[in-house]
Amino acid sequence: MMFGLAKKFDGGLKLPPNKHGAEAPSRILPIPESLTYYLTKNIKETHQCIVNIGETVLFGQSIARGLGHQPDIHAAYGGVIEAIGSKAGPYDAPEEQAVIIRTSEYKNVYKHDDKIKNKSDLLKSMGVAGMGGAAFPTGEKVQAAGAPRVWLINGVECEPMLSCDQCLMREQADKLVQAIRYLAAEIMPGRVILALESDKADAVSAMRLALGDVTDIELACLPPRYPQGGEKQLIQTLLGLEVPSGTHAAHLGILVLNVATVMAAFDALAYHLPLTHRLVTVAGQGVSAPGNVWVPIGAALKDVLDFCGYDGAATLRVTVGGPMMGRAVNSLDVAVTKGTSAILALTAADELAVYSAQPCIRCGVCTEVCPARLQPEDMYFNIRAGRLNRTRETGLMDCIACGACAYVCPSEIPLVASFLYAQQICRIEDEQKARAAYIGDLVKARDARLAARRSVRMGKSASREAAARTVDPAAMEKVDAAREKARSKIDK
């Protein structure tokens, strides 16, 4: 079906596709010896472990429950829980808490009860998260969108080198169409649009063939441009709408799911299959056999890279995720997560960024390519000067960290790294402020309670309350002793 473009998104740039191994058929990683599942993200607890060391788990068994909306974690192969402890992680903090499974011969499949009927709860308990990179909980997303006006299926994959969605659409086009129809019946969107970029000819023709004369799924072939696959940019391109600052697509009644997520959600809802494996692109000049590999979530990067002919001597940088938005890792023990779309072994031939941070010449190219219409050079300047509030006013939190600005900057300034840093600091500040406000409320509640009681007792206890709140030196000594004790405990 033909599709008229509403509007091109702002900024952006053309990047060399470099999709090596995109045409090769997908392969399956042999069962790795151990699997690692993270319970924290940047040391903050996201999952609660529900198994013990030495316990035997079956294929697909839930091993950690997600806190809040976080989807649960399931074992990708049967085995024994070997350890629960610190492990090199793919996030900003160097180490995360993780559960480590030693895989063994157990072939038994864990049977999930099918009592859960609510689809967003089912998605959470089957561990479905966004597979485009950010791993946003799908259950929460579906719930927030309700019955969306428009359901966008994102197969754009605009990052260079990545081809896992392309491969998935080419090899499983029929299943994807089936999945879309099944989910459409569940979530009842007003309109369904499948978006992809026109340079992936094999995926486009496979999808055309699979769709046949289906008319209720619109196919949008977009001219390639980075970062078209960003949720906000895709909505702007297809529908001409801007997602208001500080909100999500659900605010406009739009649901955006990546193609791999759609498949996982289909498996979860229709067959009660948890998300345990995903297609990962392995590419870069540092591997001799680039391509797409079915990898159990939890496998170490080392295992996947070795499977594809990894050349450790030539590789200078390994990233998890695409070259633009992925992050470089310091260790190959890092494990594949639900959001790991690619593992790249980059060598000197891959035009590595070095971020020598020469003076900004105000050339304005960064402003030109920024899809969020920000002024990166101005934000960078303010961050360097420590003016975080000013930076916030000028859009720090609206930066989607697409990396376009840092990619084009002739002075090789680490723009994105400083924006991410400043965003983190701002988030921590917000958290502290929110907590202070919360504690303030607790204090007020207590004061109200005391006042109420005092009015009942007619002031009898007022002097006692006051006595309890004043600080006398003898008491402070006791406090100091307790602090001392606590500190010595930590030192040990």
Partner 1 sequence: MEMISALIVMGALCLSGGLALAWAARKFAGNENALVVQIEELLPQTQCAQCGYPGCKPYAEAIVAGEADINQCQPGGERVVKALGQLLGADYRPPAKVAEKPMVAFIREAECIGCTLCIKACPVDCIIGAPKQMHTVITADCTGCTLCIPPCPVNCIDMEMLPPRWQPERP
Partner 2 sequence: MEKELKPIKQGPAVHGKSQLQLLMLKVVLALSPALIWAFYVFGWAAFIALMLTCVSGFVFEWVALRLRSRGRTRQAYDGSGLLSCILLAMSLPPMGPWWLYVLGSFVSIVITKQLFGGLGQNVFNPAMSARVFLLLSCPAYMTAWLDPDKKAGLVDTLRYMFIDWHRESYDALTTATTLDAWRNAKLTGLPLPQPELTDMFVGSTAGSMGEVSAMLLLLGGMYLLFSGIIRWHLPAGFLAGVMLPATLFWLLGPEGTHLSPLVYLVAGSTMMGAFFIVTDPVTAPVTPHARFVFAFLIGALSYLIPAYGLYPVGLSFAVLLMNSTVPLLERLFRPRIFGR
Contacts to partner 1 by CB under 8 A: 42-44, 92-93, 414, 417-418, 420-421, 424-425, 428-429, 432, 435-437, 439-440, 442-443, 445-446, 449, 464-465, 468-471, 474-476, 478-479, 482-483, 485-487, 489-490
Q: Are 63 and 75 in contact (CB under 8 A)?
A: yes
Residue 92 makes CB contacts below 8 A (sequence gap 6+) with 42, 420, 424
The least CB distance from residue 132 to ligand SF4, in Å, is 16
Angle at which helices 259-271 and 164-171 cross, to 10°: 50
The least CB distance from residue 1 to partner 1, in Å, is 46
The least CB distance from residue 144 to ligand SF4, in Å, is 23
C-alpha to C-alpha distance for 222 and 378, rounded to whole angstroms: 32
Best CA proximity match to 227, nearest among 165, 154, 284: 154
Question: Starting from the edge strand earliest in sequence, which strands make up the sheet with 217-222, in order?
Answer: 217-222, 191-197, 150-155, 254-258
Backbone angles phi, psi at 136, to 5 degrees: -70, 135
* 475 interacts with, out of partner 1, partner 2, ligand SF4, none, CB within 5 to 8 A per kind: partner 1
306 vs 378, beta carbon nearer partner 1: 378
80 vs 425, beta carbon nearer ligand SF4: 425
93 vs 361, beta carbon nearer ligand SF4: 361
* 446 interacts with, out of ligand SF4, partner 1, partner 2, none, CB within 5 to 8 A per kind: partner 1
14 vs 469, beta carbon nearer partner 1: 469
C-alpha to C-alpha distance for 156 and 316, rounded to whole angstroms: 28
Q: Which tokens is 368 given?
A: 């030109």
82 vs 368, beta carbon nearer partner 2: 368
* 436 interacts with, out of ligand SF4, partner 2, partner 1, none, CB within 5 to 8 A per kind: partner 1
DSSP 8-state symbol, 111: P
* 478 interacts with, out of partner 2, partner 1, ligand SF4, none, CB within 5 to 8 A per kind: partner 1
The least CB distance from residue 183 to partner 1, in Å, is 36
Residue environment code for 7-27, b if the CB has 16+ CB neighbours within 10 A, otherwise e: eebebbbebebbbbbbeeebb
Strands 254-258 and 150-155: parallel
The least CB distance from residue 92 to partner 1, in Å, is 6
User: Where along the sequence are the contacts to ligand SF4 (CB under 6 A)?
Assistant: 360-366, 369-372, 374, 376-377, 399-405, 408-411, 413, 415-416, 419
Best CA proximity match to 24, nearest among 319, 288, 205, 326: 288
* Whole-Å CA distances, 200 to 2, 170, 205, 313, 461: 17, 10, 9, 32, 78
101 vs 401, beta carbon nearer ligand SF4: 401
The least CB distance from residue 332 to partner 2, in Å, is 6
Query: What's the number of CA atoms in the CB half-sphere (13 Å) around residue 427?
Result: 9
C-alpha to C-alpha distance for 248 and 400, rounded to whole angstroms: 12
282 vs 360, beta carbon nearer ligand SF4: 360
252 vs 264, beta carbon nearer partner 2: 252
* 483 interacts with, out of partner 2, partner 1, ligand SF4, none, CB within 5 to 8 A per kind: partner 1
Strand pairing partners for 153? 194, 257
Backbone angles phi, psi at 291, to 5 degrees: 160, -165
User: Where along the sequence are the contacts to partner 2 (CB under 8 A)?
Assistant: 10, 92, 160, 232, 242-247, 312-313, 315-319, 323-328, 330, 332, 344, 346, 350-355, 358-365, 367-368, 371-375, 377-378, 394-395, 398, 401, 403, 406-412, 414-417, 420-421
C-alpha to C-alpha distance for 406 and 290, rounded to whole angstroms: 26
55 vs 465, beta carbon nearer partner 1: 465
Helix/strand/coil for 84: strand
The least CB distance from residue 427 to partner 1, in Å, is 10
12 vs 78, beta carbon nearer partner 2: 12
The least CB distance from residue 467 to partner 1, in Å, is 10
The identity of residue 420, as a single letter, is L
* 425 interacts with, out of partner 1, ligand SF4, partner 2, none, CB within 5 to 8 A per kind: partner 1
